[in-house]
């Protein structure tokens, strides 16, 4: 059962759909102990329902992962990472969201990767509604969560010759969503 709380209505009533052109779903992971490696998903969807019983859920197609290297994109499809053949989608559903007066968001949800569902904690910010040049109502929602990828069976790694492993276990997930109010 979804519990959405707020000191202010989380979002205006109606159904809000993520605009994929102006939205981004990405991840960051420590690489080789020297930098942060980034990737994103180009095929995703998210829906926010506002009003009396708000909800938020979304998904990303594993095949759409993009890390700017075709060979690595292919490796991420294998069982070493996302196992796209058996688990073609990553999904999220909010279980609790709180919005403060200043638009700060905290909450929790359930994230499913490789068939494993585990709770995640969210932080972020939601904007006030605005009207775009085409007369459509929009809301911006930016959320972050940090997960241990090994809890989802994404555990491939290799030893770093300087010590430790090449990949960190903690991964930051980032969703920067521009929602457009769906036509009634």
Report how far residue 5's alpha carbon sits from residue 98's, in angstroms, rounded to the nearest whole number: 5
A 10 A CB-CB count for 169 gives 15
Report how far residue 46's alpha carbon sits from residue 19's, in angstroms, rounded to the nearest whole number: 9
> Is-contact 141 127, C-beta < 8 A?
yes
C-alpha distances out from residue 173 to 15, 28, 38, 92, 159, Å: 24, 7, 10, 11, 24
Q: What is the pLDDT of residue 5?
A: 45
SS3 78: coil
- The arithmetic mean of pLDDT across residues 139-164, rounded, is 95
- The arithmetic mean of pLDDT across residues 83-91, rounded, is 97
Rg (CA), the chain: 17
Q: Is the pLDDT of residue 91 over 70?
A: yes
- The arithmetic mean of pLDDT across residues 7-34, rounded, is 92
- The arithmetic mean of pLDDT across residues 101-128, rounded, is 96
Q: Is the pLDDT of residue 3 over 50?
A: no
- The arithmetic mean of pLDDT across residues 103-124, rounded, is 97
């Amino acid at each position: 059962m979804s519990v959405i709380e707020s000191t202010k209505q989380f979002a205006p009533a109606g159904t809000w759909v993520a605009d994929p052109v102006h939205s981004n779903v990405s991840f960051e992971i420590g690489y080789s102990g020297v930098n942060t490696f980034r990737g994103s998903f180009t095929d995703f969807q998210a829906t926010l329902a506002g009003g009396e019983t708000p909800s938020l859920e979304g998904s990303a197609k594993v095949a759409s992962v993009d890390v700017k290297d075709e060979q690595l994109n292919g490796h991420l499809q294998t069982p070493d990472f996302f196992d796209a053949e058996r688990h073609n989608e990553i999904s999220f559903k909010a279980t609790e969201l709180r919005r403060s007066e200043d638009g700060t968001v905290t909450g929790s949800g359930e994230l499913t990767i490789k068939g494993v569902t585990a709770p995640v904690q969210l932080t972020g910010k939601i904007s006030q509604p605005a009207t775009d040049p085409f007369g459509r109502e929009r809301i911006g929602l930016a959320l972050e969560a940090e997960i241990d990828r090994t809890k989802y069976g994404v555990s491939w790694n290799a030893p770093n010759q300087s010590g430790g492993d090449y990949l960190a276990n903690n991964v930051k997930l980032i969703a920067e969503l521009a929602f457009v109010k769906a036509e009634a």
